Structure 1
Amino acid sequence: MASDQGTVRVDSWIWSVRLTKTRSLAASACRAGHVRVNGERVKPAHAVRPGDEVRLRHAGRERIVVISRLVRKRVGAAVAAECFVDNSPPPPAREDILAVGHRDRGAGRPTKRERRDLERLRGH
């Protein structure tokens, strides 16, 4: 289950330590350029070692972790937490997340004034 020597694929490791829900999501993130190992964009098959820094942009935030232990298979949350050191910035508070303009269903098209207000709210 655990391996303290050698290398592991980056997509497999990200999935094994529960940073993504599925391995295919981890591989897709790598292909889209959302995963960096030691500052370089990597493909899903890139080999990682203990001590490597992995940056993952996922679910609207960036996770920055340093690998402390390699695992090849998916492990429980308690074991997964021991496999990396989390240097990520804290997630923003729910109150700090901007409210996106929302119109009620069936309200019709927005007027020019409402559209401008929505664009101003979104920061355009």
Structure 2
Amino acid sequence: MKQDTDGDKVRLDKWLWAARFFKTRTLATEAVEAGRVMLNGERPKPARALKAGDELRIRAAHGEFSVTVLQLAEKRGSAVLAQSLYVESPESIAKRELVREAQAAEPQFENPLVRGRPSKKVRRQLHDFARKQGKE
């Protein structure tokens, strides 16, 4: 891990990937270009130099985060090391927890048995049902 020393700076997309907010650098770059990452209240470019103390607001598939950069890293390490690169604000943690609880409370309409193409038996049942509906 590259530690933040006197003048070290790291590209924003590399840091987002190293901090494990995105699975690939390409996804991190696309998120920055799409405006899902804000740096100190501004919309940055992927190559923008990041330094310790910067404030980031990140909207990823797994939640919205407000973090402060503590250390810089160009290489992806373990999850424990990645979490040591930033500190998340308490408001951000509380907001993500509320969203998680709301999603858990929502009714689930997806039937786990219905995935992909229907089987031959189910297709026959659908055709029979459709024929009966058309006659009556």
TM bin, normalised by shorter chain, reads 0.7 to 0.9
Which residue does 2:65 correspond to in 1?
63
Which residue does 2:10 correspond to in 1?
8
Residues paired across the two proteins, number? 108
| Aligned Cα root-mean-square deviation (Å) | 2.5
Q: Cα–Cα, structure 1 residues 40 and 95, in superposed 2: closer, same or farther, change >3 Å?
A: closer
Does 2:56 correspond to 1:50? no
CA deviations on 1:18-73 (whole Å, 9 max, x unpaired) are: 11111111000001000001010111111110000111101162111100000110
What is the alpha-carbon distance in structure 2 between the residues aligned to residue 79 and residue 39 of structure 1? 26
**Is contact 1:3-1:72 (8 Å) kept?**
no
Unaligned runs of 5+ in 2: 119-125, 131-136
Moved over 3 A (4+): 92-95, 98-108
Does 2:113 correspond to 1:96? no
Q: State the one-letter code of the partner of 1:83.
A: L
- TM-score with structure 2 setting the length: 0.68
Question: In the TM superposition, what is the alpha-carbon distance from 1:86 to its structure 2 partner?
Answer: 1.2
Which residue does 1:74 correspond to in 2?
76
What is the alpha-carbon distance in structure 1 between the residues aligned to residue 37 and residue 63 of structure 2? 12
Which residue does 1:39 correspond to in 2?
41
Question: In the TM superposition, what is the alpha-carbon distance from 1:99 to its structure 2 partner?
Answer: 4.0
- TM-score with structure 1 setting the length: 0.74
What is the alpha-carbon distance in structure 2 between the residues aligned to residue 74 and residue 27 of structure 1? 15
CA deviations on 1:63-100 (whole Å, 9 max, x unpaired) are: 11100000110011111111110112342365522447
Greater radius of gyration (CA): 2
Richer in strand (by share): 1
Identity %: 39
